[in-house]
A and B are shown apart, each in its own frame.
Chain A
C-alpha cells in the first residue's frame, strides 16, 4: 500500500483540518503520488477507504486534474509553458528541443527514468517568458541552449539554482518531495529527496512531518 501506517496518521491530521473529510481528497492524492510517483490503483483504493468514497469517485476526481498523473513521473518534472507570452519568446523551440534530446514525446519520461518533459499552460510568470519549471520552480528567460543545458544537468542528477534562488526560491529535489509538500504536510521527509519514480518506499514515508494549520515550520 502506498500510504504506510505512519503516513496514514499524517493523513488523518490532514483530514481533520477540514469540516468535511472529502475536502482532503486532493491532498491525499498528492500523498499517494509522493509514494508511488503517480496515482496508483492501490492508492486510489486506499484514499477511497479513508474518505468513505468509492474507487470510481476518487478516480473521477484524479483524472480531472493535470497534476495527478496516470503514469509514474521522473525524479525531475520539466514543464515548459506553451501559452502565448512564452510562445512569443521561444517556448515551442524549447519543448521540441527537449523532446528530441530526451527522445520522448511530450509527457514522456526518458529511458533512465530521471526526467519527464511536458508542456503546460500559463504559469503566472509571463514577465519571465519563456518559463521552464523543474518540479514547479521557475527557470526564466531561457534560450533553447540554456534549456538543453538545464536538462543535461538534471540527467546527471544535478539541480541548478532556479531564477529566483537569490531571493530564496529552492527547487524541490524530487517529484516525490514536491508531491509531499503539495499535500500540505509541510517539509518533506528526508528520504523523499532522493526518490525517483516509485522510489519513495516505506522508509521514505515512515517519518510524519511536523505540521500545523496549513503552515510549515520555518
Chain B
C-alpha cells in the first residue's frame, strides 16, 4: 500500500484532532475560542452548502465509527425535496470493546464536536441535530452538556447563528446501556423511544431515517474532523494517510502494552509503529501473541501482520477489518479460548435478540467455549464452533452477528492447536485466569514518558 503521491506512508504522529488535548482548559469556550475554535463557522457560512458537501467528498473522509463509509457520499444520499426536515444524528454511543477515542475527545475537547455538528448540519441543510451519547460515560456527558450550554449562551447554537441566518438546535440524548444502539438503525429506533433493534435496509436512513425523514448518522470523530477539512482544505487532508484512506485517525491501543492510550497517526501507519512505538511495546517479559485491528468485532491478527498499514484496504487485505482502529493487544500468556469466551459472552449479552442466528448462536458458542475452558471440551467442538459461525455470518440484520464470529473464526485459523490442547489436556493449559496486577503502567496523563509519546505533545499535523 502506498500513499497518494506514491511515497511510503508516513509513520510520524500527527496532531489534528488531538491538538487541543494537552490544554487543560480547552473544554471552556473562552479558551477554545482562543485556540481558533469555531473558526470553521466563518468558512462554512461563507460557502455554498453544496460546495461544502463536495469538499467532504473530495477529501475522501471515511466514517470513523467502524464501517469506513465515505462521509461525503453518505451526505450526498440524503433525499432532497421531501418536504420533511433533514436530521443529523451524531453517534456518540462508543462501545465497541477496546475503543475509547470518542469519549476522550469529548472529555478533553467537547467543543470540537459541537463545532463539527454546526458546520456539518449547515452543509446538509439540517436545523435539528441530535447527539446520542452513551449513558455510562459520566465525565464525557458532563463536558458535552456544558459545552452545548456555553455554545447556546454565545449564540453559536439556536437562532441565526453569528448572523448567518442559519438556525440549529442540538439535543443531547442519553442512551441506556445497549451496545447495539451504536448500529445506526438501532440508534434511530432508540432515539424514537423504541427498543434499540436494527431495521432492514433499504430504506436507508438517508431516505427514511429519524421520524421517517432524511437522516445522516455520523460518528463523533468523523464530525470532529469536518471543521479541519473546511479550514485547511482537501489537499492538506489528503497529505496524510493513503489515497483511499486519507487523513489523520485516532488509534486506541489497549491490553498488554506499556502505555495504553489514544494516539493520533495518519491512516496507513504500520501496526508495529502503534504497538511498539506509540504504546511503548509489550509489558515487561511479555511477547505478542495476537491483536485486534479494530475492536473485538474484527478478526484477530498475529505478529506476522505487524507491518500491515492501518488503513481500510490494507487491513482487509490481511484478512481483517480496520473497524474503529481499536487495537487490543494480547500476549503469549493469554489463553485464546478464554479471550474468545470473554468476547463471546459480550456478544451473547448484547445481541438484541431480533435475529435467531445471532441470538441463539452467540449463546451456544459461549456454552461451548465454557466447556472447553473448564475441561468438558469435545474434539468436535472446534468444528461445531465453525459451523455456528457459518450459520451466523451474513444471516442477521446487522453487523453484530458478523462481528461475533470474528474472534472465533480468526482464533481457529491461527490458534487451532490451542483449542485442541484444551480437549486433550482436559481443561485450560494456562491454568487459572491470569491477572496482570502489579505490572500496570502509571495512569495516562501522569506518565512523563507517555506524555512525550502522546500525540498531544507532538508537532502540528502536516501542513
Interface residues of A (CB under 8 A from B): 17-20, 22-27, 29-30, 51, 60-61, 64-68, 79, 82-85, 87-90, 92-93, 120-129, 133, 135-138, 140-141, 143-144, 162-164, 167-172, 178, 181-184, 186, 212-218
- Report A-chain residues with C-beta under 8 Å of the C-beta of B158: 213
- Report A-chain residues with C-beta under 8 Å of the C-beta of B94: 124
Contacts A128-B443, A137-B138; is A121 near B342 (CB within 8 Å)?
no
The answer, among A66, A83, A89, A126, for a CB contact under 8 Å with B177, is: A66
Which residue of A is nearest B435, CB measured?
A90
Distance of A171 Cα from B139 Cα, bound (Å): 9
- Report A-chain residues with C-beta under 8 Å of the C-beta of B138: 133, 135-138, 169, 171-172, 178
Contact A89 B436 (CB under 8 A): yes
Which residue of B is nearest A145, CB measured?
B437
Identify 16 new A-B residue pairs, CB closer than 8 A, beyond the known A183-B174, A215-B148: A30-B176, A65-B175, A65-B176, A67-B176, A121-B95, A124-B137, A126-B98, A129-B260, A136-B137, A136-B141, A138-B139, A162-B139, A168-B27, A168-B143, A214-B171, A218-B146
The answer, among A67, A79, A124, A186, for a CB contact under 8 Å with B145, is: A186
The DSSP consensus for interface residues of chain A is loop
Contact B256 A60 (CB under 8 A): no
24 A-B pairs in the complex with CB atoms less than 8 angstroms apart: A19-B211, A26-B173, A26-B175, A27-B173, A83-B342, A84-B255, A84-B296, A88-B436, A89-B436, A92-B435, A93-B435, A127-B260, A127-B261, A137-B138, A137-B139, A140-B443, A169-B138, A181-B141, A184-B172, A214-B145, A214-B171, A214-B173, A215-B149, A218-B153
The answer, among B136, B149, B176, B328, for a CB contact under 8 Å with A29, is: B176
- Report A-chain residues with C-beta under 8 Å of the C-beta of B128: 19
The answer, among B139, B173, B253, B436, for a CB contact under 8 Å with A169, is: B139
Contact A22 B193 (CB under 8 A): yes
Contacts A22-B193, A169-B138; is A122 near B176 (CB within 8 Å)?
no
The DSSP consensus for interface residues of chain B is mixed
Instruction: Rank and list the top 5 A-B pairs by shortest CB-CB distance, nearest first.
Output: A215-B149, A66-B177, A25-B193, A126-B254, A65-B176
Most B Cβ at <10 Å: residue of A51, A124, A182: A124
Distance of A162 Cα from B139 Cα, bound (Å): 10
Distance of A17 Cα from B173 Cα, bound (Å): 10
The answer, among A23, A29, A163, A178, for a CB contact under 8 Å with B443, is: A163
Min CB distance, A79 to chain B, in Å?
7
Flag whether B192 is at the interface (Cβ < 8 A).
Answer: yes
Contact A214 B174 (CB under 8 A): no
Min CB distance, B284 to chain A, in Å?
14
- Report A-chain residues with C-beta under 8 Å of the C-beta of B191: 23
The answer, among A61, A85, A138, A216, for a CB contact under 8 Å with B98, is: A85
Contacts A24-B193, A89-B440, A136-B135; is A124 near B100 (CB within 8 Å)?
yes
- Report B-chain residues with C-beta under 8 Å of the C-beta of A26: 173-176, 190, 193
Most B Cβ at <10 Å: residue of A171, A172, A214: A214
**Count of B residues near A, CB < 8 Å?**
84
The answer, among B178, B252, B349, for a CB contact under 8 Å with A64, is: B178
Distance of A95 Cα from B437 Cα, bound (Å): 14
Contact A84 B328 (CB under 8 A): yes
Contact B435 A123 (CB under 8 A): no
Contact B195 A67 (CB under 8 A): no
Contact A122 B346 (CB under 8 A): yes
Distance of A87 Cα from B27 Cα, bound (Å): 32
Interface residues of B in 413-463 (CB under 8 A from A): 433, 435-438, 440, 443-445
- Report A-chain residues with C-beta under 8 Å of the C-beta of B27: 168
Interface residues of B in 171-222 (CB under 8 A from A): 171-179, 190-196, 211
Flag whether B152 is at the interface (Cβ < 8 A).
Answer: yes
Flag whether B142 is at the interface (Cβ < 8 A).
Answer: yes
Distance of A145 Cα from B253 Cα, bound (Å): 26
Contacts A120-B177, A124-B94; is A214 near B99 (CB within 8 Å)?
no
Contact A122 B95 (CB under 8 A): yes
- Report A-chain residues with C-beta under 8 Å of the C-beta of B328: 84-85, 126
Contact A87 B433 (CB under 8 A): yes
The answer, among B97, B141, B437, B443, for a CB contact under 8 Å with A121, is: B97
- Report B-chain residues with C-beta under 8 Å of the C-beta of A64: 178, 195-196, 352
Which residue of A is nearest B295, CB measured?
A122
Min CB distance, B177 to chain A, in Å?
3
Contact B194 A61 (CB under 8 A): yes
Min CB distance, A60 to chain B, in Å?
6
Distance of A14 Cα from B100 Cα, bound (Å): 29
Distance of A217 Cα from B145 Cα, bound (Å): 9
- Report A-chain residues with C-beta under 8 Å of the C-beta of B346: 83, 121-122
Flag whether B243 is at the interface (Cβ < 8 A).
Answer: no
- Report A-chain residues with C-beta under 8 Å of the C-beta of B253: 127
- Report A-chain residues with C-beta under 8 Å of the C-beta of B141: 136, 181-182
Distance of A178 Cα from B135 Cα, bound (Å): 10
Contact B179 A215 (CB under 8 A): no
- Report B-chain residues with C-beta under 8 Å of the C-beta of A140: 443
Min CB distance, B195 to chain A, in Å?
4
Distance of A209 Cα from B400 Cα, bound (Å): 38
Contact A122 B96 (CB under 8 A): yes
- Report A-chain residues with C-beta under 8 Å of the C-beta of B139: 137-138, 162, 164, 168-169
Min CB distance, B279 to chain A, in Å?
9
Which residue of B is nearest A170, CB measured?
B142
Distance of A186 Cα from B174 Cα, bound (Å): 12
Min CB distance, B130 to chain A, in Å?
8
Distance of A144 Cα from B175 Cα, bound (Å): 30
Which residue of B is nearest A62, CB measured?
B176
Contact B102 A124 (CB under 8 A): yes
Contact A121 B169 (CB under 8 A): no
Contact B136 A133 (CB under 8 A): yes
Which residue of A is nearest B343, CB measured?
A84
Distance of A128 Cα from B260 Cα, bound (Å): 8
- Report B-chain residues with C-beta under 8 Å of the C-beta of A213: 148, 152, 157-158, 169-171
